[in-house]
A and B are shown apart, each in its own frame.
Chain A
Amino acid sequence: RKEVEQDPGPFNVPEGATVAFNCTYSNSASQSFFWYRQDCRKEPKLLMSVYSSGNEDGRFTAQLNRASQYISLLIRDSKLSDSATYLCVVVYNNNDMRFGAGTRLTVKP
């Protein structure tokens, strides 16, 4: 079983749609959580951190459920520029940092 599991998609949605991605992790010792965005043939870049209380950044909302060991990302009012692969990241106490396989999103006009 992979340490971090994500639905690979692809998700194909129209502009303006709301889309949600989920990610589960297996190690309860996980310390920090993030969502990264990766454009085609580029390096990943931080989208947002994920906190137990939930956090929002414009159209993006991230949630963490420690009891069920999953994190989620909600994108509202999708834009064409949101098309990318979204990677969930789990960091353990010893700085071991693991990525999910990524969920590919395509937003269409």
Chain B
Amino acid sequence: DGGITQSPKYLFRKEGQNVTLSCEQNLNHDAMYWYRQDPGQGLRLIYYSQIVNDFQKGDIAEGYSVSREKKESFPLTVTSAQKNPTAFYLCASSPRDRGTEAFFGQGTRLTVV
């Protein structure tokens, strides 16, 4: 069953701690993305990766880090430097071909307590 999986679905973190969100896909897609969504808001791009061992900053990369060591995996670390980390985090993947859609994971809701 091909798809994109994010885990965990809900995550609670104490202020000042780093936390890593998992994103795995078995669609053989080259491009992967991380977005943040706040209540009533659209999706804001944190990082994206076109290919293994390459990634680019989006609009709100500060306080976040990523790695792309394998094609299937694109984990996002929310560091203690992120001042307001409570949000809904969405991971997506797509082929690099023109005009092809992106598929999303079910998202991770991160709450800082």
Contacts and interface: CB of A to CB of B under 8 A. Distances in A.
Interface in A50-108: 87, 89, 94-102
Interface string B31-47: 10101000001111100
Given A31-B98, A32-B98, A46-B101, A95 B43 contact: no
B99 A32 contact: yes
B98 A97 contact: no
Contacts of A14: none
**What bracket does the count of chain A residues touching chain B fall in?**
20 to 34
B56 A100 contact: no
Interface stretch (B13-21, B64-72, B78-86, B104-112): B104-112
Interface of B: 31, 33, 35, 41-45, 48, 50, 56, 58, 88, 90, 92, 94, 96, 98-102, 104-107
